Amino acid sequence: MHKKSIIFVCLAAVQLISLFAFAQDEFHVLLETVGGVPPNEMMQEHLIGLIDREWDRWKSDYEMRTTPEAVAEYQHRLHDLFMDAIGGLPERTPLNPRIVGVIEREGYRVEKVLFESRPQFHVSAALFMPDPARFPPPYPGVLVPCGHARPAKAHDEYQRMGALLALNGMAALVYDPIDQGERMQMLDAEGRPIAWGTHAHTLFGAACILLGLNTATFEIWDGMRAIDYLQSRPEVDADRIGCTGNSGGGTQTSYIMALDERIKAAAPSCYLHYQAVQLRKAPGDAEQNIFGQMAIGLDHPDFIMMRAPMPVLICAATKDFFDINATWETFRFAKRLYTRTGFPERMDILENDAEHNYNRTQREGVARWMSRWLLEKDQPIIEPEIELIDEKDMWCSPRGQVMLIEGARSAYDFLEAEENALMIRRQARWRSEDHMRLLEEARQVAGVRPLAGLPEPEVQSLGEEALSEYVIEKLIFTPEPGIVLPAVMFKPPEPRVGEVFLVVSENGKADAARNGGPVFTLVKQGYNVLAVDVRGTGETTPVPYQDLGKGVGEHWVDYFRAYVLGRSYVGMRAEDVLVCARYLKTQGQAVHLVALGNVGVPALHAAAFEQELFASVKLSGTLVSWSNVIHMKPTHNQLINAVHGALKVYDLPDLADTLGRKLTLEHPHDAQGKPIIGGA
């Protein structure tokens, strides 16, 4: 090559590289705030605004419930909606209960119990039984689901609660939830838990959601089968069953008392307040967020009012991270409805000056409440010193983990079985039925509106910036009030006519425009390229919350805010892609779509639902299938793209197949975020 040509090529390359170095430094399109809100809080404020609107509607509907008939209709309707939101419950199967040991204490005994809430799905429990010499049976039975404490039933607060009830003539069944105590669902080769508690519940929840289930589905069913066990004991009066639990156990108590009419008295502790307050801070883990609950009018007061006039005592702490004022507001809603039904005395609150806990004051109040309504004895109850049992001495399984019992099945095993059955049905449908009709079903599940139903976005140009002969134009798309999509149009000096690329990236437009990245390559080839930050990416990426562990993903807070509204991030981001593509298409250009990373999932939805909008689609580093999320554990960052109940209708390959040769899949990833060896 001629020396001058070499110099020219080198200078051109330097200019192009300089362009992208410049662009990456100057990619911030948005001002410091968007309507007074920092960009990284945009989604938070948008979703909280929608939640507040639903809470206002809830309060308006509440005021209409003034007659016994209106209350009864509301209770039946919400029961059915709640059951549907968690995917229903399985059929009863044999409990196969076993008492594997007994520990004697003064005034009571502790029986170590194993039973199967589903076939080979073992529940480890401690049954605190009164001294029959002092309290002749039958006894009332009280269910005590445990909160998020790693030792679960062996935790001192739950041991003391069980013992106090037994010392006052009531049988108490304290049992381990999944991923706590002896019920860790993911063990390594040495039998050690891979994850536990809120982290494990939410990893499991991401898989549940795809099947239209919830971590709560499993917890509620364990609780209902625990009632079955209590009722099977001849020493227990089957018609006098109570339930109490703290924190996560308060969550379970709230759900079980709402859905199971066998509960005759309840005392949830350190949980009940309401979502519009909680979601301003951070949601709880997976089981504390029910799909679409705000949209169907299901909030914390409803867990009480669905069973009015059953006696309920709210136990609350003034220094709890669950807002005490919201707890009092929930109490007032419930108290008024109980008054309307003629039983105000059956709704009460215990407030104590403490932090989040199940302390002695709470436990004594719970025991007195249960005594009042299950024993018909309203008497002061004082907790004595309790001789605690060592955690290992409370083991019901030989090695302290039920998953090490031969033949044991995990919660994940049931999800896999469900997915295997759904996959057969899905494949049969996608082979034999009309794809347009199936795509419409998928659209409804994902919550993506037809293109014609999407309003035209406001598009604002912030002007152009030139570097030599290359130009960057900064744009802001406003697809709906409160949502802005910062974008940059890259314009080469002699662009190809009639073709444009739309590029979206999991890590935002700056990532897509890195040196050697797709924007760099496409501009070099002479294409106009629009790089857009879809909501929650790039400049609008929220402040990461790692409370539930890195594997859950940094978007979990905003994800659950959308989830309780019945919305999916996949659906919202797919609509972002669609309005930007339509903007380009109306300029008379053929639109080629490129998506990098996990935003490939919403991009695939957009392309499959509006195929005529796109000339070609390329997905790089995108999840291979949702089925892979079910079969792989632990997963990594799969919550953000989980669409509730999607696998009942479709999987990602079903959408991909409808695009035919228009689609290119590059470097597909598995559910752990790792490239699939040999992937196309």
Kindly list the distances between the CA atom of residue 630 and the CA atoms of 150, 338, 403, 493, in Å, as whole numbers in the listed order.
25, 43, 19, 48
What pLDDT score was predicted for residue 8?
Answer: 31
Fold held by 10-39+449-666: Rossmann fold (3.40.50)
3-class state of residue 359 by DSSP: coil
Amino acid at 577: V
What pLDDT score was predicted for residue 26?
Answer: 63
Q: In angstroms, rounded to a whole number, what is the distance separating the alpha carbons of residues 616 and 594?
A: 8
Q: What is the share, in percent, of the chain residues with pLDDT greater than 70?
A: 94
3-class state of residue 87 by DSSP: coil
CB atoms within 10 A of CB 376: 9
Summary mean pLDDT of the chain = 93
Among the residue ranges 456-465, 569-578, 597-606, the one predicted with the least confidence is: 456-465
Q: Answer yes or no: is pLDDT of 680 > 80.
A: no
- State the Cα torsion 163-168-171-175 to the nearest 10°: -30
Amino acid at 637: N
The residues that bridge with 467 in the sheet, in sequence order, are 470
CB atoms within 10 A of CB 466: 10
For the sheet with 590-596, list strands across it.
458-467, 470-480, 483-491, 528-532, 499-505, 590-596, 616-620, 663-666
Kindly list the distances between the CA atom of residue 268 and the CA atoms of 327, 349, 455, 667, 675, in Å, as whole numbers in the listed order.
12, 10, 45, 49, 45
Q: Answer yes or no: is pLDDT of 207 > 90.
A: yes
Q: Give the pLDDT confidence of 662-677 residue by residue, as tens digits.
A: 999 999 999 999 999 8
The residues that bridge with 112 in the sheet, in sequence order, are 101, 126
Q: pLDDT band for position 358 (50/70/90)?
A: very high
Q: What mean pLDDT is predicted for residues 365-375?
A: 98
The residue written with tokens 């109570």 in the block is 242
Q: What 3 state SS string does 100-165 have?
A: EEEEEECCEEEEEEEEEEECCEEEEEEEEEECCCCCCCCEEEEEEECCCCCCHHHCHHHHHHHHHH
Amino acid at 652: L
Residues of the chain with CATH 3.40.50.1820: 10-39+449-666, 84-419
The residues that bridge with 109 in the sheet, in sequence order, are 104, 129
What pLDDT score was predicted for residue 678?
Answer: 65
Which segments of 156-245 does DSSP mark as H helices, in order?
Answer: 156-167, 197-210, 215-232
Q: In angstroms, rounded to a whole number, what is the distance separating the alpha carbons of residues 21 and 309?
A: 67
What pLDDT score was predicted for residue 21?
Answer: 40
Q: pLDDT band for position 588 (50/70/90)?
A: confident
3-class state of residue 460 by DSSP: strand
Q: Answer yes or no: is pLDDT of 29 > 90.
A: no
Report residue 325 as tokens.
């004022």
Kindly list the distances between the CA atom of residue 450 and the CA atoms of 439, 443, 648, in Å, as whole numbers in the listed order.
11, 8, 21
Report residue 155 as tokens.
């935790």
Among the residue ranges 59-73, 220-234, 458-472, 650-664, the one predicted with the least confidence is: 458-472
- State the Cα torsion 517-520-524-527 to the nearest 10°: 100
71-105: burial string, b at 16+ Cβ within 10 Å, e else: beebbeebbebbeebbbeebeeeebebeeeeebeb
Q: In angstroms, rounded to a whole number, what is the distance separating the alpha carbons of residues 149 and 177?
A: 10
Q: Angle 333-339-344 (CA atoms, 0-180°, nearest 5)?
A: 100
182 and 397 in contact (C-beta within 8 Å)?
A: yes
Amino acid at 90: P
What pLDDT score was predicted for residue 118?
Answer: 98
Q: What is the share, in percent, of the chain residues with pLDDT greater than 90?
A: 88
* CA 172 remoteness from chain centre: 30
Q: What mean pLDDT is predicted for residues 309-330?
A: 96
Q: Answer yes or no: is pLDDT of 18 > 70.
A: no
658 and 305 in contact (C-beta within 8 Å)?
A: no
Q: In angstroms, rounded to a whole number, what is the distance separating the alpha carbons of residues 295 and 245?
A: 27
Report residue 81 as tokens.
């909606």
Q: In angstroms, rounded to a whole number, what is the distance separating the alpha carbons of residues 210 and 208?
A: 6
Q: pLDDT band for position 3 (50/70/90)?
A: very low
Q: In angstroms, rounded to a whole number, what is the distance separating the alpha carbons of residues 63 and 297?
A: 13
CB atoms within 10 A of CB 41: 16
Report residue 371 as tokens.
């005594």
Amino acid at 517: G
The residue written with tokens 């960052």 in the block is 637
3-class state of residue 677 by DSSP: coil
Q: Provide the 8-state DSSP code for 273.
A: S
Q: What are phi and psi of 23, to 5 degrees?
A: -65, -40
Report residue 643 as tokens.
């669409």
What pLDDT score was predicted for residue 170?
Answer: 98
Q: In angstroms, rounded to a whole number, what is the distance separating the alpha carbons of residues 439 and 431?
A: 13
Would you give the end-to-end CA distance of the chain in angstroms? 37
Q: In angstroms, rounded to a whole number, what is the distance separating the alpha carbons of residues 202 and 163?
A: 31
Q: What mean pLDDT is predicted for residues 160-171?
A: 98
The residue written with tokens 């290359």 in the block is 470
Q: What mean pLDDT is predicted for residues 21-49?
A: 77
Any long-range contacts for 371-374 (C-beta under 8 Å, 24+ apart)?
A: 371/168, 371/169, 371/170, 372/311, 373/242, 373/264, 373/265, 373/311, 373/346, 374/140, 374/142, 374/170, 374/240, 374/242, 374/264, 374/265
Q: What mean pLDDT is predicted for residues 259-274?
A: 97
Q: What mean pLDDT is predicted for residues 630-657?
A: 97
What pLDDT score was predicted for residue 309?
Answer: 97
3.40.50.1820, 3.90.1150.10, 3.20.10.10, 1.10.3720.10: which CATH number matches 84-419? 3.40.50.1820
482-517: burial string, b at 16+ Cβ within 10 Å, e else: bbbbbbbbbbbeebeeebbbbbbbbbbbbbbbbeeb
Give the strand pairing for 347-352 and 312-317: parallel
The residues that bridge with 458 in the sheet, in sequence order, are 478
Report how many helices (DSSP H) and strands (DSSP E) the chain contains, helices first.
Answer: 21, 17
Q: Give the pLDDT confidence of 494-535 residue by residue, as tens digits.
A: 899 999 999 999 999 988 987 778 998 999 999 999 999 999
Instruction: State yes or no: cis peptide before 398, omega within 30 of 0.
Output: no
Q: In angstroms, rounded to a whole number, what is the distance separating the alpha carbons of residues 645 and 270?
A: 31
